[in-house]
Amino acid sequence: MVARHFDLTRAGTQDMTKVLEAGGYTYAYEPAEGGDPRTLILLHGTGGDHTSFIGLGRLVAKGAALIALKGDVVERGNLRFFRRVGERVYDMDDLALRTHRLADAIPELISAHGRDPAAAIGLGYSSGADLLGNLICETPDRLAGAVLMHPIMPFEPPSTRALSGKPVLVTCGERDPVTGPAQVEAIAERLRTLGASVTARGADSGHEVREGELAAIRDWLAAFRTTTDAAA
């Protein structure tokens, strides 16, 4: 059986998804269905956008409210969420600035749609995962949990804040030439050192996303909902 490949740069949305502005971001929004308490804050990777990444949200959290942000840094025609000065060399001042900007925007984005911040989960891919990972380290109170897909994070987050059991899922491709299992496990271990409750999952893929990885994310998010419902 051939694993299905989900293209994070091309799988767009042509339906009634709303494209809105709040917190300084352009974003695509889909409301929750069936009383689902979860809200996913979605951050695409380099070359994606808000309309492409909302499709992934549908696949991994059917029924959840989706807020897919649009990066506003342009690098060689591709959208990103922060600047870099070379391959795997990030503009750390810009990363810090945009981390705080995202932290400030999240409460506004959540309250704009009457959502519960206690059930807000960040989900980022590649460079989007890097921004999200830095945010979790710097301002852990902004999100109830996070999914980091194929993070690179070629930097040491400066935070010494305790993550106090914050649930985090880290996923990667076993054959990923950009960020392999050893690097991703090192990132997971950094988060564990800060006190996060980290689950790491590998998939039979490269830097692309395939069904096995989507299934792992879907299961983790379903367990998150179960925990959230039990606490309500």
**194-216: pLDDT as tens digits:** 999 999 999 889 988 999 999 99
Residue 4 DSSP code: P
Instruction: Of 3-7, 57-61, 103-107, 133-137, give the lowest mean pLDDT range.
Output: 3-7
Residues 129, 46: contact at Cβ < 8 Å? no
pLDDT at site 157: 75
* Band (1; pLDDT cuts 50, 70, 90): very low
Q: State the sign of the Cα–Cα–Cα–Cα dihedral 98, 127, 16, 215.
A: negative
Q: What are the DSSP calls for 12-56, one per residue?
A: ---SS-EEEEETTEEEEEE---TT---EEEEE--TT--HHHHHHH
**pLDDT score recorded for residue 13:** 47
14 pLDDT band (50/70/90 cuts)?
very low
The residue-averaged pLDDT of 55-72 equals 95
- pLDDT for 160: 67
Q: How confident is the model at residue 5 (pLDDT cuts 50, 70, 90)?
A: low
Q: Is the model's pTM score more than 0.85?
A: yes
User: Tens digits of per-residue pLDDT, 84-115?
Assistant: 997 778 999 999 999 999 999 999 999 999 99
Q: What mean pLDDT do residues 50-56 have?
A: 90
Helices and strands of the chain, counted as H and E runs: 5, 14
Give the active site residues.
126, 176, 207
Could you read off the pLDDT of 112-169 as tens digits, one per residue? 999 999 999 999 999 999 999 999 999 999 999 999 999 998 888 776 688 999 999 9
What domains lie within the chain, and their CATH numbers? 18-231 (3.40.50.1820)
Q: What is the pLDDT of residue 8?
A: 61
Q: State mean pLDDT over 214-231.
A: 89
- H or E segment and range at residue 106: helix 92-112
Q: Average pLDDT of 44-49?
A: 92
Question: Which pLDDT score is estimated for 3?
Answer: 43
Quote the mean pLDDT of the chain. Answer: 89
